[in-house]
Amino acid sequence: MIDTLPPLREIIARHDLRAKKALGQNFLLDLNLTARIARAAGDLSACDVLEIGPGPGGLTRGLLAEGARHVLAIEKDARCLPALAEIAGAYPGRLTVLQGDALRIDPLAHLRPPIRVVANLPYNVGTELLVRWLTPGEWPPFWESLTLMFQREVAERITAQPGSKAYGRLALLAQWRTQARIALTLPPEAFSPPPKVSSAVVHLTALPEPRFPADAKTLERVVAAAFNQRRKMLRAALRGLDGAIEARLARLGIAPTARAEEIGLEAFCALARDFAAHPPR
Ligand code: SAM
């Protein structure tokens, strides 16, 4: 037992929190597991934690029991608020709950750095937020780390290396400015109701600076073009960006016949720098 609050099954029954598919609700009921996920986020005792989608509060309880200084939880489903208020009562002054859509709420006014983000979200919302958190106007971002649950297949796309099928935009976007790894994988039965596929928790730590210099927008443009037609050779996939792409690639020592999935982060950054220094005519 990680706290003296009632078991999650009891809370869910008492507040009639039947999972709603439209809100992507698959709840974690095992508090040992939620404590493990909280630990994957590192030492939280000196951090504010932004939790998105607390639901009945299993992960929230894990975060608080593991010592988070303060948790700001944003939940769309108003039915969950009484259950979350009970948790706030058990941890006076350490949990703030906002009701609303995390895609529309700016949480920064409620958070004091250093900030870590932890979430078990519906997968579509999770990917959209991940991309936003990885592409802020300025780097380093507001967060030190992100600890996020995804479908296992998405987690593998975030951490993929060149040469693998999963390698693409998400891997490059994540790995350019973070250290990303899969912290744990979970079978469908860990959730109630169980989803169709396995899940995985990805832990991303913000690097102080990008691994290789490049302009973020140019890099995104080059990577998007390269992977939009991932089966094509680079000289064909990038022709839309530059009619003279073959010479540019050759000058940079990148084989024009290579495919995007064979090209590492360093070469993509070199390509982005070259585009910025020598824009196509
Ligand atoms: N964190 C809880 C757990 O681990 O048991 C619940 C996880 S459940 C997969 C996702 C939660 O995100 C649900 O409680 C759902 O209501 C909430 N949610 C869905 N869309 C949201 C959004 N746009 N903003 C905030 N919360 C959202």
Count CB neighbours of 31 within 10 A: 19
Interval 85-105: pLDDT, tens: 999 999 999 999 999 999 999
CB of 24 sitting under 6 A from ligand 1: yes
Q: In the chain, how many H helices and how many E strands? A: 11, 9
2 located within any domain = no
For atom 10 of ligand 1, the residue with the nearest CA is: 121
Grade residue 230 by pLDDT with cuts at 50, 70 and 90.
Answer: confident
170 located within any domain = yes
247 located within any domain = yes
116 located within any domain = yes
Same domain, 201 and 237: no
270: CA distance to ligand 1 center in Å?
39
CATH code for position 125: 3.40.50.150
Q: Give me the residues paired with residue 73 across strands.
A: 51, 97
Least confident of 41-45, 101-105, 120-124: 120-124
Range of the domain at 171: 8-206
**CA distances in angstroms from 182 to 49, 59, 74, 204, 241, listed in the order given:** 20, 18, 24, 9, 34
74: CA distance to ligand 1 center in Å?
9
User: How far is it, in rounded angstroms, from Cα 240 to Cα 147?
Assistant: 37
CB of 238 sitting under 6 A from ligand 1: no
Same domain, 193 and 221: no
**Strand 95-99, strand 70-75: pairing:** parallel
